[in-house]
Amino acid sequence: MRNDSISGKSVFVTGADGFIGSHLVELLVACGARVRAMTYYNSWNEKGWLRDVPEQTLSSVELFSGDIRDTERVRQGVRGCEYVFHLSSLIAIPYSYDAPRSYVETNVIGATNVLQACRESDTLTRLVHVSTSEVYGSAQQVPIPESHPLVGQSPYSASKIAADKMAESYHLSFGLPVVTARPFNTYGPRQTARAVIPTIASQLLAGRQTLRLGALSPTRDFNFVTDTAAGMLALALTKAAEGEVVNIGSGEEWSIAHTVELLCEIVGSQVEIISDEARIRPEKSEVNRLLADNRKIADLTGWHSELSFRDGLTRTVNWIDRNIAYFDVDDYAK
């Protein structure tokens, strides 16, 4: 399916002010879509990471502030749109141990609001509900297929499993044209220091002689953010994906330790690594391996990752270097 088939279509994106959402908005505008971008309302009129989007691109976007937990506001956002991408989510895993109810309210109730609004819509062509590879827990088979058991190893992953099951129920019960996209570990420009790659890169760029990190042995399927966004668009434009759960991943596996080595090479730095207990998950909650079986998305859409890991890391490092003020590097040393 050609991306230009979405040209002129009305599209609603929740979580548009986030890391992946802002890149998806850029892609949709580049493909000619008419985008309504939902941002989380705040009294400072902050646009989140949409502030990093070129003004020439953003000028054609309808900014739509609100709260995903607000049923009526979500209904207003969906109204009149042909495609909906639901990315709005509370994502930081460590915080989910402290505030699990917040994850239920945002991730489960918020998703239900989107599903119901889409069910009531008379213009909807397709909804892409965005999940996460965290729902699989530690891999029981590698690479991880979409049929892998779902394991709630954190309150965050449990909330996403619940949201995925709500999406499944709306397809089976009401025939809603929804596809559940499960991206693996997306990285790239605009990702905050809650994630391991910007944590490492920002400390290296700040000239730190030591790195404070969590576990180094876990492996991840890192996928550059523009590739992830392209995968979501490909699924939106594929009717055969309706009712399906589909992984979006590179199909390559990198340990945190190896990732540190690559980043050190790119930055040109050598450091000592210190274990930070605050960054280590509870023992039974650690996900040790994440590697996508990406054959399904390739078969359905022809999509595959285009950017190599090293090239993606280089682009990420360059962006962080230009935006180092966003990273509280001094806080890592505490």
Query: Based on the domain organization, do 59 and 174 belong to the same domain?
Result: yes
Q: Shortest CA distance to 276 belongs to which of 218, 328, 334, 208?
A: 334
The reported pTM is: 0.94
Residue span of the structural domain in which 325 resides: 196-220+252-290+308-332
Where does the pLDDT of residue 87 fall: very low under 50, low under 70, confident under 90, or very high at 90 and above? very high
pLDDT digits over 1-50, tens only?
567 799 999 999 999 999 999 999 999 999 999 999 999 998 888 899 99
Q: Is the pLDDT of residue 117 over 90?
A: yes
Q: What is the DSSP string of 97-155?
A: HH-HHHHIIIIIIHHHHHHHHHHH-SS--EEEEE--GGGG-S-SSSSBPTTSPP---SH
Is residue 97 in a domain? yes
Query: Based on the domain organization, do 143 and 268 belong to the same domain?
Result: no
Q: Quick one: DSSP state of residue 292?
A: B
Q: What is the CATH number of the domain that holds 271?
A: 3.90.25.10
* pLDDT (0 to 100) of residue 96: 95
Is residue 295 in a domain? no
